[in-house]
Structure 1
C-alpha cells in the first residue's frame, strides 16, 4: 500500500483506483477508506478515485498529538503531492466535508470541483444534533450505541433488507485514543468566517431526514459559499450517499462534468 509522509513525519496511507481525472473521496469521522467501499465504483466511468486512511485509522500512523480538520487537510495535500496531482475534484462527506472545506479555503489552486455531503460549517452558528441523539450514541453498551448509529445512518427499510456489515459505523481497528481525537477534531471544526473565500464550484448534498448532522446545515453552507448549489435528497438519513446512491452518485457526476470551466 502506498504512503505519503506528512510535514510532521507521519505515514498516511492512500489508495488509488480507476483512470481519468482524479476525484478525492473523504470519509466521515473515525473511518478509513472503507467508508467508500459500497459506492466507489460509481465514479470510475469518469474519474480515478483517491481515498485515504486518516491519521489514526486503517494503515496510517497514529500521532501522539492532537487531531484537527485542518491537519487532515494538510495530509490530503501531502498525498496529492506524492501522486504529483496538481488539481483534483474533492467529495467530502460528514467530517470529510469539513476537511474538504479547509482544502478549498487554504489550497484553492488544488481543488477543481467541490462536493460537500452531510456536513456543516461548524462553529456556534451551525445546527447541532439534539441531546437525545447524543445520549443514544453515548450509552455504555457498545452494541446499543452501534445500533443507534446505524439507525441515524440508514432508514428502517434499508436496515431491514441489508444485514451489513456497515462500513460507515467506524474503523474497528482504531484505538480509543484515536477515536476520541477524531471526535474532538470534528466537534471543534469551525470554518464559518472563511467559507466565503471558497472559489471552487460547489455542490452541497444532504439527506432531508438527517438527524446526526441536521439538514439545516446544508442551507447554512449554501448561504456562506459563493454560488454554491444545494440539493436535499428526500427521505435520506446521514449515509444518503450509500442508501440513495442511485440518485446521489449521478448528482455528483453530473455536477463535476458541468461545473464551470477551470481558468
Structure 2
C-alpha cells in the first residue's frame, strides 16, 4: 500500500500505475482515488497517480482545520517530491480542480497541463447547498443494494445511466458498517467546509488566470448545478484555446468515461505530449 508522510506528520495513501506522462488525479471533495476508476482504463501511455486527500479514503485523518485547499495543494506537491516528479499534468474533479488552480498560482513550475472536471472559478450556490446538505453525514441506506435502487433517481441532472453503474458507484461513495452504510471520510470535513463558508467567498478568477500558458481542458456536465453555463462560457471566452466540452445527461460530476469526456481528454493529452 503506497503511502508517504506529509510535512505535518500525516500518512497519506496514493496509487501509482503505468508509465509515461505523469498525470496526477485529484478527486472531489468527499471522494478519493476511486473517482477515476471509470476513466483509468482509457488513459494510455500515462503514469496515473491518484491521491487520497487527508481525511479521505485510506489516508490518515487530521486536524479538520487543515482540510483546506491550500494545505491539500501542499500535500500534492509533497507527493510529487516523494515520487521525484518535477512536472505533472493534473486531472482535477470538482475540489481537485480548485486545488489544481491553486497550484497554478503557487507552484506553476510543477505543472505541465490541467484538466478540470465540472469545476470553475465560480461555484453556483444551488450546487454548493446540495453538497452542504449531505456533507459529513452517513446515508440512511442499510445496504449497497438499497442505495443503488434509489441514488440514481436522487442524483440531479443524471439521465440514461445504467443500473449497474449506480451499483458500482455506491461502492465508491460508501462503506459497509455494522448498522448500515457509512461515509469513507472524516465527518469533521463538514466543520471545515461550513467554517470556510462563514467567510466572504474569494474571487477565484485570478487562480483561473494563473493557468495561462498551460494546456487546459474543461469538461462540464450539461446539467451541472455547480459549474453554471455562464461561468463555463466566460472560461471559454478567457481561454479560447481551451479544450471544452459538455457531457449530455450528466450533472455534477461526469464519470469521465463518456465519449465526449474521453474525446476532450484525448485532445488535451495530445497538447501535452
- Tell me what 1:209 maps to: 223
Q: TM-score, structure 2 length as denominator?
A: 0.78
Where does residue 142 of structure 1 map in the other structure? Answer: 139
Q: Which residue does the alignment assign to 1:75?
A: 75
Partner of 1:55: 54
Q: Is contact 1:196–1:226 with CA below 8 Å preserved after alignment? A: no
CA contact (8 A) 2:25 2:91 kept: yes
How much does 1:14 deviate?
1.0
Q: Report the CA distance between 1:129 and its aligned residue.
A: 1.8
Q: Which residue of 1 aligns with 2:249?
A: 235
CA positional deviation for 1:218: 2.3
Aligned-partner Cα distance in 2 for 1:17–1:186: 36
Query: 1:258 aligns to what?
Result: 271
- The change in CA–CA distance for 1:13 and 1:215 in structure 2 (over 3 A counts) is farther
- Separation in 1, partners of 2:261, 2:211: 23
> For the structure 1 residues 114 and 131, does the alpha-carbon distance in structure 2 shift closer, same or farther, using more than 3 Å as the test?
closer
Q: By how many angstroms is 1:37 displaced?
A: 1.6
Instruction: Determine the structure 2 residue equivalent to 1:245.
Output: 258
Which residue is 1:115 aligned to? 115
Tell me by how many angstroms 1:73 deviates: 0.9
Rounded Cα–Cα distance in structure 2 between residues aligned with 1:170 and 1:215: 30
2:192 aligned with 1:181: yes
Paired residues of 2:64 and 2:188 also in contact (CA < 8 A): no
Once residues 174 and 236 of structure 2 are traced to their aligned partners in structure 1, the CA distance between those partners, rounded to angstroms, is 28
Measure the CA separation in 2 of the matches of 1:141 and 1:74.
Answer: 29
8 Å contact 1:4–1:12 — kept in the other structure?
Answer: yes
Aligned residues: 253
Residues of 1 paired with 2:217 and 2:82: CA distance? 27
What SS does the aligned partner of 1:9 have?
coil
**TM-score, normalized by length of structure 1?**
0.81
Give the deviation of 1:184 after TM superposition: 5.6
1:174-210 deviations in Å (ceiling 9; x for gaps): 2311354356669967532333222312111101111
Q: Is the 8 A contact 1:154 1:237 kept in 2?
A: yes
Structure 2 SS opposite 1:173: coil
- Cα distance in 2, alignment partners of residues 249 and 116 from structure 1: 13
State the Cα distance separating 1:10 from its structure 2 match.
1.6
Residue aligning to 2:34: 34
Tell me which stretches of 4 or more aligned residues in structure 1 moved more than 4 Å: 130-138, 146-150, 182-190, 223-227
Distance in 2 separating the partners of 1:209 and 1:190? 24
Question: In structure 2, do the counterparts of structure 1 residues 226 and 80 end up closer, same or farther at CA, with 3 Å as the change threshold?
Answer: farther
Gaps of 5+ in 1: none
What is the DSSP-based 3-state SS (H/G/I as helix, E as strand, rest coil) of the residue aligned with 1:236? coil
User: Secondary structure of the residue that 2:265 maps to in structure 1?
Assistant: helix
Pair 1:164-2:163 in alignment: no
